[in-house]
């Protein structure tokens, strides 16, 4: 890690492309560190009695749950529902089946609402697991068991600001931990064989190369798009299934980095909603079109957006010429992952775009006397110091 | 605005008059709807489906999806069956193929023509079955469903801003939630009757809310005249209201409306919040009340303009914003979307009048054709039992 990167202030300075590539390295590390933990925490007894799984979190941690749902449904054999933390803790926990597993995700382990989900779940005697970066944090203490993804440690090893900030590495770490958990539960329940699990894990490891190749290959185009779109303030990102999470994650990076309005929309819903605002030269539409169950619909929506004069950026397989031909611009993915694992790589293009937009455009200035310190104070207060029910 | 051709100006003016009229008369329309729905709740086939459901997916697109989000809490609380509101494509392409065998799909589409909702209903018939909530008896949705539940409204003119259809869908779902609970024994007959009485009261509550909130909304229109984006914050059942309010701006005003789940504001839109941003906070007393107050304090700390939609009798909530839009406050939270959506309908209608806008498809045939093509003519991916079995088998063989 360069000295320049180490001196970076995560609250104000743009990422650089190197930080995005570093996520590839994270894949190997997380799998290596988490595999034994998952085997220890998810026991045959636990897996055998599950009726329902809830994946809860806020922000990127919530999106990791949305991204992992298909893998859970497909491999674990247990009906799984991702829910935003407050939606679970205030509106659903009372009605969860007795043998539910609630997985609460928060890298910092300090997010009040995510702690609340586990506190209230335990009061109901539901099974609870925390996925977090800190074994001694409040989230870990609230859960019956924890999976420690160690991103903060890795960040220290690789450079203090290389990981662990604003969700770049955390998202991939959470996602991998969830995938490993889904496979473990499925294996213990006889839904998938050990050989299948081994093969699927090899695919997960293979995501590292795809992330690295994509980060490198798309960097120039992301820069060009940031320059072409620098004067725009709103960006739509559409995705379906696991990549609806990718869309939400991409929108979040636009909020966090250049402080621009990222609007994530479920792929189908564009025709019902943002269609009304689609026109030439206004808000570009990034459409996630991986091989899978919504590729046909993504292509239909691309045609529709083009018919309305919209600007379409395809995020698709680099060899999918049919999709590529429908878009004015493309940020392709260099390698293939099955759809349920595809968010691992499909997050890269919008990360690159947000990073480059931040570099090109900077951020809207804060109006004095309001300053960066106050901004951080308010943010931390809202997220970490909210009153927790059940404590 | 004023350089629009005269015939376009006339269409805009007429459709905006129609929209306001539809909002002002929807209380009466909903009386008919509710009565029509009640008469169908004794249908043996309907009750049989509801009684055997181990899991319920409420699905639809756009407003129909939001109606499901609004009603989910009532299903959980009174129905005694695990219930998820889920967008139609998310069900038909991703969640449905792995649904429990005894799961029931409730598919909502006023027109009955929305491809993705039809697709979801078709898939549902390979499990326990599908109930299609639609007023189009010969529509693809009606054909795809095990049985239909007409709400008693004529399908709205295609292209019109949905107001009554949204309320009617919610009433249909609330009636179903009560009926599931009654059939399952989760609630007794007397509690079911009491809940139906609450729904009866909601009709007056809607009208009361419109009468009490109109002046406040009208006063907001000039304040919001130059806004390009409005953010709508809500949680639980009123996250649906946030989505619905945003959709009405997109449709009727051509203005960007962005729904924000209440907790998530601090994680996401916080970063773009400042003196030039306006948030409409859906502040109905209930399980999120304490968090609403915390987030409003946060919005103020970021110097945002805050409009609160809340009952006056909750003094703390109603005084928390810079502006108050009052609503009826004595419905249980799970039924509150019935009144919380009313001022948002009116807001969209009045902004449309003020900006001389209307749904773009009403004044541009090409744009209408594109929209209808996208929504109604999308290729439906048929999923039959063999395909589902193949899918499941392929997983175990991978």
A7 exposure class (CB count in 10 Å sphere: 0-12, 13-18, 19+)? exposed
Ordered alpha helix ranges (H), A16-167: 17-41, 44-49, 60-71, 85-86, 112-123, 138-142, 151-158
- A179-183, A369-373, B201-205: the lowest-pLDDT one: A369-373
Report whether pLDDT(B214) > 60.
Answer: yes
Q: What global pTM score does this model have?
A: 0.95
Using one digit for the tens of pLDDT, what is the confidence trace for A100-136?
999 999 999 999 999 999 999 999 999 999 999 999 9
Strand (E) or helix (H) holding B27? helix B26-40
The radius of gyration of chain B from alpha carbons, rounded to an integer in Å, stands at 21
Residues B288 and B312 in one domain: yes
Using one digit for the tens of pLDDT, what is the confidence trace for A49-90?
999 999 999 999 999 999 999 999 999 999 999 999 999 999
What rounded mean pLDDT belongs to chain B?
Answer: 92
Asked which of A171, A187, A209 is the last residue of a domain, the reply is A209
Q: Which domain holds residue A352?
A: 213-361
In a domain, B123, yes or no: yes
d(CA B195, CA B175): 9
Q: What is the pLDDT of residue A3?
A: 43
Which A positions 90-149 lie with beta carbon below 8 A of chain B? 90-92, 94-95, 97, 113
d(CA A295, CA B185): 43
Counted domains in chain B: 2
Of A13, A7, A65, A1, the residue nearest A256 (C-alpha): A13
Inter-chain CB proximity B378 and A259 less than 8 Å: no
Kindly report the CATH number assigned to the domain that includes residue A146.
3.40.50.10490
Inter-chain CB proximity B371 and A268 less than 8 Å: no
Using one digit for the tens of pLDDT, what is the confidence trace for A338-365?
999 999 999 999 999 999 999 999 998 8
| B381 interfaces chain A, CB cutoff of 8 Å | yes
Counted domains in chain A: 2
Using one digit for the tens of pLDDT, what is the confidence trace for B31-76?
999 999 999 999 999 999 999 999 999 999 999 999 999 999 999 9
A278: nearest CA in chain B?
A: B254
Percent of chain A with pLDDT over 70: 95
Of B221, B187, B190, the residue nearest B357 (C-alpha): B221
Contacts of B63 in chain A (CB under 8 A): 272
Using one digit for the tens of pLDDT, what is the confidence trace for B176-208?
999 999 999 999 999 999 999 999 999 999 999
d(CA B276, CA A27): 40
Helix and strand totals (H; E) in chain A: 16, 10
φ/ψ region of A366 (left if φ > 0, alpha if ψ in -120 to 50, else beta) reads beta
Residues A100 and A232 in one domain: no
Report whether pLDDT(A163) > 60.
Answer: no
Which B positions 339-358 lie with beta carbon below 8 A of chain A? none
State chain A's maximal CA–CA distance in angstroms. Answer: 61
Q: What is the pLDDT of residue A1?
A: 38
Q: What's the mean pLDDT in B84-93?
A: 97
Q: What is the pLDDT of residue A48?
A: 98
In a domain, B32, yes or no: no
Residues A160 and A259 in one domain: no
Inter-chain CB proximity B62 and A370 less than 8 Å: no
Residues A154 and A12 in one domain: yes
Residues A192 and A258 in one domain: no
Report whether pLDDT(B125) > 60.
Answer: yes
| B274 interfaces chain A, CB cutoff of 8 Å | yes
Inter-chain CB proximity A382 and B298 less than 8 Å: yes
Q: Please report the DSSP string for B139-198 in residue order.
A: SHHHHHSSEE---SSPPPPTTSPPSHHHHHHHHHHHHHHHHHHHHHTSS-HHHHHHHHHH
Residues B237 and B289 in one domain: yes
Which B positions 218-247 lie with beta carbon below 8 A of chain A? 229, 235-236, 239, 246-247
Q: What is the pLDDT of residue A2?
A: 42
What rounded mean pLDDT belongs to chain A?
Answer: 93
- A183-187, A283-287, A295-299, B383-387: the lowest-pLDDT one: B383-387
Q: What is the pLDDT of residue A141?
A: 98
Q: What is the pLDDT of residue A5?
A: 44
Pairing outcome for strands B278-282 and B229-234: parallel
Q: Which domain holds residue B162?
A: 41-187+364-397
Confidence of residue A159 (pLDDT cuts 50, 70, 90): low
Confidence of residue A12 (pLDDT cuts 50, 70, 90): confident
Strand (E) or helix (H) holding B259? strand B256-261
Residues A303 and A333 in one domain: yes
Q: What's the mean pLDDT in A189-193?
A: 97
Using one digit for the tens of pLDDT, what is the confidence trace for B217-255?
999 999 999 999 999 999 999 999 999 999 999 999 999
Inter-chain CB proximity B290 and A378 less than 8 Å: no
Report whether pLDDT(A219) > 80.
Answer: yes
d(CA B196, CA B18): 30
Confidence of residue B398 (pLDDT cuts 50, 70, 90): very low
Percent of chain A with pLDDT over 90: 84
d(CA A221, CA A348): 12
Report whether pLDDT(B279) > 60.
Answer: yes
Q: Is A308 helix (H, G, I), strand (E, B) or coil?
A: coil
Kindly report the CATH number assigned to the domain that includes residue B267.
3.40.50.10490
């Amino acid at each position: 890690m360069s000295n320049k990167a180490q001196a970076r202030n995560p609250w104000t300075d743009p990422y650089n492309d190197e930080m995005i590539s570093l996520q590839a390295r994270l894949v190997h590390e997380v799998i290596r560190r988490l595999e034994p933990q998952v085997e220890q925490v998810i026991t045959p007894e636990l897996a055998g009695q599950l009726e329902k799984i809830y994946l809860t979190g806020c922000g990127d941690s919530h999106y990791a749950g949305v991204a992992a749902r298909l893998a859970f449904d497909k491999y674990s054999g247990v009906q799984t529902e991702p829910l935003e933390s407050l939606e679970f803790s205030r509106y659903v926990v009372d009605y969860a089946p007795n043998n539910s597993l609630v997985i609460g995700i928060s890298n910092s382990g300090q997010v009040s609402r995510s702690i609340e989900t586990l506190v209230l779940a335990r009061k109901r005697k539901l099974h609870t697991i925390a996925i977090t970066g800190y074994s001694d944090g409040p989230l870990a203490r609230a859960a019956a068991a924890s999976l420690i993804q160690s991103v903060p440690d890795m960040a220290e090893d690789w450079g203090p600001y290389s990981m662990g900030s604003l969700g770049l590495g955390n998202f991939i770490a959470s996602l991998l931990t969830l995938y490993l958990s889904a496979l473990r539960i499925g294996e213990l329940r006889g839904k998938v064989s050990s050989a299948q699990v081994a093969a699927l894990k090899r695919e997960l490891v293979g995501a590292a190369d795809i992330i690295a190749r994509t980060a490198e290959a798309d960097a120039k185009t992301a820069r060009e798009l940031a320059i072409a779109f620098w004067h725009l303030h709103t960006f739509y990102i559409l995705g379906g299934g696991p990549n609806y999470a990718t869309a939400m994650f991409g929108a979040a990076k636009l909020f966090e980095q250049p402080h621009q309005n990222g609007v994530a929309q479920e792929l189908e819903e564009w025709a019902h909603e943002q269609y009304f605002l689609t026109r030439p030269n206004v808000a570009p539409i990034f459409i996630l079109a991986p091989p899978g169950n919504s590729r046909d619909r993504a292509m239909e929506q691309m045609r529709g957006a083009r018919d309305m004069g919209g600007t379409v950026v395809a995020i698709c397989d680099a060899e999918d010429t049919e999709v590529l031909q429908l878009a004015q611009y493309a940020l392709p993915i260099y390698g293939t992952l099955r759809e349920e694992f595809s968010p691992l790589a499909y997050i890269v293009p919008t990360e690159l775009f947000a990073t480059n937009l931040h570099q090109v455009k900077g951020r809207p200035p804060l109006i004095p006397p309001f300053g960066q310190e106050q901004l951080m104070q308010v943010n931390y207060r809202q997220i970490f110091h909210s009153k927790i029910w059940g404590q | 605005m004023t350089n629009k051709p005269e015939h376009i100006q006339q269409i805009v003016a007429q459709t905006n008059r129609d929209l306001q009229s539809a909002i002002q008369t929807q209380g009466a329309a909903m009386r008919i709807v509710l009565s029509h729905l009640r008469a169908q709740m004794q249908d043996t086939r309907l009750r049989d489906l509801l009684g055997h459901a181990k899991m319920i997916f409420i699905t639809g697109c756009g407003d129909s999806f939001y109606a499901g989000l609004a009603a989910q809490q009532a299903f959980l609380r009174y129905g005694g069956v695990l219930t998820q509101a889920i967008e139609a494509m998310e069900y038909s392409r991703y969640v449905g193929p792995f649904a429990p065998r005894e799961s029931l799909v409730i598919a909502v589409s006023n027109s009955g023509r929305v491809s993705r909702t039809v697709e979801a209903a078709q898939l549902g018939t390979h499990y326990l079955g599908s109930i299609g909530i639609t007023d189009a008896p010969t529509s693809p949705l009606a054909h795809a469903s095990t049985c239909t539940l007409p709400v008693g409204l004529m399908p709205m003119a295609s292209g019109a801003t949905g107001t009554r259809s949204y309320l009617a869908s919610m009433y249909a779902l609330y009636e179903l939630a009560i009926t599931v609970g009654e059939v399952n024994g989760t609630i007794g007959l007397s509690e079911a009757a009491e809940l139906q009485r609450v729904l009866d009261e909601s009709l007056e509550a809607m009208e009361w809310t419109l009468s009490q909130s109109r002046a406040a909304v009208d006063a907001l229109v000039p304040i919001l005249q130059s806004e390009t984006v409005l953010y709508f914050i809500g949680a639980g059942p009123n996250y649906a209201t946030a989505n619905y309010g945003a959709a009405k701006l997109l449709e009727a005003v051509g203005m960007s409306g962005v729904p924000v789940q209440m907790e998530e504001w601090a994680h996401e839109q916080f970063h773009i919040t400042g003196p030039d941003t306006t948030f409409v906070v859906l502040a109905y007393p209930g399980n999120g009340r304490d968090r609403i107050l915390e987030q409003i304090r946060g919005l103020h700390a970021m110097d945002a303009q805050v409009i609160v939609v809340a009952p006056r009798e909750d003094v703390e909530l109603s005084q928390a914003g810079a502006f108050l839009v009052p609503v009826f406050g004595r419905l249980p939270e799970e039924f509150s979307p019935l009144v919380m959506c009313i001022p948002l309908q009116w807001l969209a209608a009045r902004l449309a009048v003020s900006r001389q806008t209307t749904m773009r498809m009403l004044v541009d045939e090409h744009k209408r054709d594109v929209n209808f093509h996208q929504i109604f003519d999308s290729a439906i991916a048929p999923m039959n039992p063999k395909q589902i079995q193949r899918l499941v088998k392929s997983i175990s063989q991978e």
